[in-house]
Structure 1
Amino acid sequence: MPIATVNPANGETLRTYEAMDAEEIERRLQLAEATFRTYRTSSFADRARLLNRAAELLDDAQQDIAKVMTTEMGKPVKQARAEAAKCAKAMRWYAEHAESLLADEEPAAYDVKDSGASRALVRYRPLGPVLAVMPWNFPLWQVVRFAAPALMAGNVGLLKHASNVPQTALFLEDLFHQAGFTQGCFQTLLVGSGAVDEILRDDRVKAATLTGSEPAGRAVAATAGDMVKKTVLELGGSDPYIVMPSADVDRAAEIAVTARVQNNGQSCIAAKRFIVHTDVYDRFAERFVEGMKALKVGDPQEEDTEVGPLASEQGRTDLEELVDDARRSGASVLCGGQRPDGPGWYYPPTVVADVNREMRIHREETFGPVATLYRAADLDEAVLIANDSAFGLSSNVWTRDEAEVDRFVRDLEAGGVYVNGMTASHPAFPFGGVKRSGYGRELSGHGIREFCNITTVWHGA
């Protein structure tokens, strides 16, 4: 795949980049290693000052970088601006909280004495250069939610971004440099996916984080395992959205539309499987389909566009194949389901009902504005359908019954349970999944500690 900006609204190639050669990669690895030796000794106050400055610069550049993101991967420009604002917020959050999150921990006095020590503590120390393999769907946010905690912990970053968002990748490197970070603190590697294995095998790279597809995660995990290096993986998701009779059904249906089509439906944590109790199924389905039909699909650079094109032609083809397979296998398409005429990689908001577990659309992730609708007889069947997935990223439940909430929190196989609302990431809360959605956590204190050497310091009596 070429490293290029291709506008998904019309398929036009706007800019192409040459991949970095072995000599340039080596230069950047040397720079990362040398920079880490000094940067790791910097104070939290100095790191926070630089990260706050990066947030200020990002706020100033919000309009421009939003247009770049929209041009490169097709998200509506209003959502692109919101993404940039969210990144600045996360930078400020980590600038404020990193020192306390990584403060020395003192074990209980009884345990210290019992160990024979005069004193003991646990200290968090940075690991070194961390390779980040990042996707195109949230081209700023996915990177910043790694970079902000990593830099505040004293690590340095090497970004291998998706090949279709090179301008965003270069913007990020320049942003941190302009903020005052030493150039080796955060570097973009303009390379294809084939270069990742060799870079990760380099002894100077101490760990890796990847957000992306399951095959990509498997490849990085295999290499990291072979080299005994720490990894964090955030892979696919097929999140359930469960609606029970006690819920505000109209509100649940309204939020369901946003939960499905955010980022043109290309979000790991977007709700994808809508599991509705039979008592309120017809009412929810009617409202939900009405909401999906009412969405404005069009040029993502226009302010009132709600759904833009998919990021790639192959992505649209993959989505079409899932819907067509379901239709041939007996599913009902309640709206959408047909590729529109004209340029660009558009696909309409689509709702597919009467889905069974033999269909591909039940087993595979739908990465686009396509929802599947299920009828559940009771809570037990809702949980059964929800957990009948290889993925376990997040989940959404709508109910006013606290006993039902407790059951869902206990029984749903997911990294998050969002009650009466849609899943959204926030710097204060850990983010990640179970099963084939990956392992490890990003964000919060859990995320900043993922790439730290958790060190026991013991003093004899």
Structure 2
Amino acid sequence: MSTITTVNPANGKNLDTYEEIDLDAASAKVEACHEAFTKWKLKSAEERAEVIKGLGQALRDNKEELAQLMTDEVGKLIKDSRDEVELCAAICDYTAQTGPKELASEPRDPSNAGRGIVTYSPIGVVYGIQPWNFPAYQVIRYAIASLMAGNGVLLKHASNCTGSGLMIADIFEKGGLPKNLFTVLVIDHDTSDAIIEHDKVRGVTLTGSDDAGKHVAQAAAKVLKPTVLELGSNDAYLVLEDADLDTAVEVCSQARLYNNGETCINGKRFIVTEKVYDEFLKRFVARFEGVKTGNPNDEDTDLGPMARTDLRDTVHEQVEKSVKNGAKIECGGKVPDGDGAFYPATVLSNVKPGQPAYDDEIFGPVASVIKAKDDEDAMRLANDSRYGLGGGILSTNEDRAIELASKHFDTGMVFVNVYGVADPSMPFGGVKNSGYGREHGRFGVKEFVNVKSIFVGQP
């Protein structure tokens, strides 16, 4: 039987070893999750909400232990790990507060019956395949919505944060969630494909690359199962002619470097109008040169290691290929000596089509700065991408920025004069190769439900 060994990316030392289970053992866990679901679905929405509220408290009660494990497994700054646990608890609070109302039955007045009722019924076991960059949040984001809807939940976590996934399961049980209702599967990719086909699995959700999304979507489509996909992106932040440059530099720096640059809705391409390009680039580079890289457990560290050395090496290869094709390194761009998966805060200029820095997602602390002729050209360049998850607009004309965001920006999310990751009340998801479906808000809780019509005649 194969094993998984987790490694601390800050120092290269092994953390723990876990044994993968085979298909028979994984199938037994699916059956147990389904059995737990058959009881959970009969609970009222209010009863489920009380349990979910308890899960939020359990996450807070175990915040330090979970935060430290996430930092050890993937190199997140410890302060960001703590914030992540708080966000997860806030998702539980929000879902417990709003879930019963969102899932309440709705009366209708059909023409072919005396009255009608629309109900939102759970569908069964939902299988989630999740990445490593937010070991808790990625899990909570889909799991809590599915549990609120009355479903059972399976998790296949990224191998390098296996411990975090298992700890979340323990925390959920401590918080009062019925046994087996949330189940972690420590399995390989072939077994994962077989789990998608399992007759007790009724929906699949994945956060990952667009290639992984295509694979999972095809596997689920073959067995007619709904999917929600949150995939990669190379989000553009537009610095318009009237932008306040102090705000623009600070927001764009946060957008690129948050979570060590390993976030799907990090800003990655910074499209700057010609009028302010030179001054923005000078200030932006100075900001990146001042970043302190180091131990993610130190409170004054700005940038920790990337999650794995192979991921760091991929980012460096993308930088080198971009430079070979004409990009210029303004700062950073060199793999440092020593242990760990560190990579410096890097700014590339002269970024154009045909370079990974323009065309692809660089999942690390590398910013691509692109010059636009004017505001109209900036929006054209922003939409010149196969992706469409998020993006940003920096402008002192807020009303115009909102109009551009709503009418012209071809993405699922837009940040105006601010950078943010997620909020429980706001839908999260994208378009084009960034996937489909929405999580959070009143949308996420209804992604995996049976919207059922009941027609009632006169007795």
| TM-score normalized by the length of structure 1 | 0.97
- 3-state secondary structure, aligned to 2:180: helix
Equivalent residue in structure 2 for 1:383, among 371, 379, 384: 379
Q: Percent identity?
A: 39
* Alpha-carbon displacement from aligned partner over 1:73-99 (angstroms, at most 9, x marks no partner): 001111000000110011111011100
Deviation at 1:64, TM superposition (A): 1.2
Give the alignment partner of residue 241 of structure 2, picking from 234, 242, 245.
245
Q: Give the Cα separation in 2 of the matches to 1:97 and 1:3.
A: 39
Cα distance in 1 between the residues matched to 2:300 and 2:70: 17
CA contact (8 A) 1:102 1:124 kept: yes
* Cα distance change, pair 328–160 in 1 and its aligned pair in 2 (3 A): same
- Residues 1:460 and 2:457 are matched in the alignment: yes
Q: How does 1:12-411 map to 2 (within 5 A)?
A: 12-107=13-108, 109=109, 112=110, 115-401=111-397, 402-411=399-408
Helix, strand or coil at the partner of 1:10: coil
What is the SS of the residue equivalent to 1:392?
Answer: coil
Alpha-carbon distance in structure 2 between the residues aligned to 1:422 and 1:404: 14
Larger CA deviation: 225-234 vs 173-182? 173-182
Secondary structure in structure 1 of the residue aligned to 2:367:
strand
Asked whether 1:444 is paired with 2:441, we answer yes
- Cα distance change on mapping 1:362 and 1:2 into 2, 3 Å: farther
1:243-279, Cα deviation, whole Å (9 max, x unpaired): 1122221111011111101110000000000011111
Q: What TM-score comes out, normalization by structure 2 length?
A: 0.97
Question: How far off its partner does 1:2 sit?
Answer: 5.0
CA distance in 2, matches of 1:331, 1:2: 41
Looking at structure 1, the residues matched to 3 and 378 of structure 2 have their Cα atoms a distance apart, in angstroms, of 43
Greater than 6 Å deviation, 4+ residue runs: none
> Is 2:122–2:450's contact at 8 Å kept on the other side of the alignment?
yes
Point out where structure 1 has 5 or more consecutive residues left out of the alignment: none
Q: How many residues are treated as equivalent by the alignment?
A: 456
Report if the CA contact (8 A) 2:22-2:191 is conserved.
Answer: no
Query: 5+ unaligned residues in a row in structure 2: which ranges?
Result: none
Q: Secondary structure at 1:389's aligned position in 2?
A: coil
Q: Distance in 1 between matches of 2:400 and 2:357?
A: 31
Which shifted more, 301-310 or 234-243? 301-310
Secondary structure of the structure 1 residue equivalent to 2:114:
strand
| Alpha-carbon distance, 1:404 to partner | 4.5
Which has the higher mean CA deviation after the structures are superposed, 355-364 or 222-231? 355-364
2:186 maps to a residue whose letter is L
Which moves more between the two structures, 372-381 or 224-233? 372-381
Partner SS, residue 29 of structure 1 = helix
1:432 is aligned to 429
**Superposition deviation, residue 360 in structure 1:** 2.1
Deviates more, 1:115-124 or 1:332-341: 115-124
